[in-house]
Chain A
Amino acid sequence: GDSVTQTEGQVALSEEDFLTIHCNYSASGYPTLFWYVQYPGEGPQLLFRASRDKEKGSSRGFEATYDKGTTSFHLRKASVQESDSAVYYCALSDNNAGAKLTFGGGTRLTVRP
């Protein structure tokens, strides 16, 4: 079945550092890829998504580019802030109506002031 792998379980940075969280996927079809952010006590919130090869998704300074060749969708941000501290999930879904999301293991980002 489909799967999503996030390499980093935890990332600790200082404010203004550059962030990369690696995400690789395995899927039989041509999935839509997502990044979600989850704050304590809340459900996941969509950051952005991408549906086609080479498409870039972005929001709040975060960005990722769909790369079908390397089956990757790495999350990057040039300068993190303390308020970015949260758990980030890479996910995929096929494009059928009502399709489920398959999540990666999540990456806990802690940003020190």
Chain B
Amino acid sequence: GPKVLQIPSHQIIDMGQMVTLNCDPVSNHLYFYWYKQILGQQMEFLVNFYNGKVMEKSKLFKDQFSVERPDGSYFTLKIQPTALEDSAVYFCASSLTGGHSDYTFGSGTRLLVI
């Protein structure tokens, strides 16, 4: 079936540096999401995005986080500056209708902040 691709699959970065996580969503999808999963813990919603705007963000979506999808390219999550507690697996998801029948997750980017 259609896939969401996440690039890179792994990233190690020094604390305080900027990192950009890239997501190539399913080609005709319109709604985009980021989730965060700390090792051994549950998946938690960060933000969703539609028509160039953030629809909703959680308390985990700190001021240092930002998302964008310029001109139909990658949907990106930028963290600037990074902190140790940002170490986690970040999952991107996309859907066409915003409903649940076609909600597709990527395989995640494993971010380690040292």
Residue numbers of A with Cβ under 8 A of B are 32, 34, 41-46, 49, 89, 93, 95-106
Contacts and interface: CB of A to CB of B under 8 A. Distances in A.
Given A98-B50, A103-B42, A104-B42, 11 more contacts: A43-B105, A43-B107, A44-B105, A49-B100, A96-B98, A97-B31, A97-B97, A98-B31, A98-B48, A100-B48, A100-B56
B25 interface: no
A45 B103 CA distance: 9
Nearest to A99: B98
B42 A106 contact: yes
B106 A100 contact: no
Contacts of A102: 45
Nearest to A9: B40
For the complex, would chain A's binding face be called helix, strand, loop or mixed by DSSP majority?
A: loop
Interface of B: 4, 31, 33, 35, 41-45, 48, 50, 55-56, 58, 91, 93, 95, 97-100, 103, 105-108
B31 A43 contact: no
A99 B108 CA distance: 20
Contact of A44 (B31, B43, B99): B43
Contacts of B58: 100
A72 to B, nearest CB: 18
A95 B45 CA distance: 16
A103 B45 CA distance: 9
A98 B35 CA distance: 14
A41 B107 contact: yes
Nearest to B30: A98
B44 A103 contact: yes
Nearest to A106: B42
B82 to A, nearest CB: 22
A49 B103 CA distance: 12
B21 to A, nearest CB: 13
B98 A101 contact: no
Nearest to A6: B42
B10 to A, nearest CB: 11
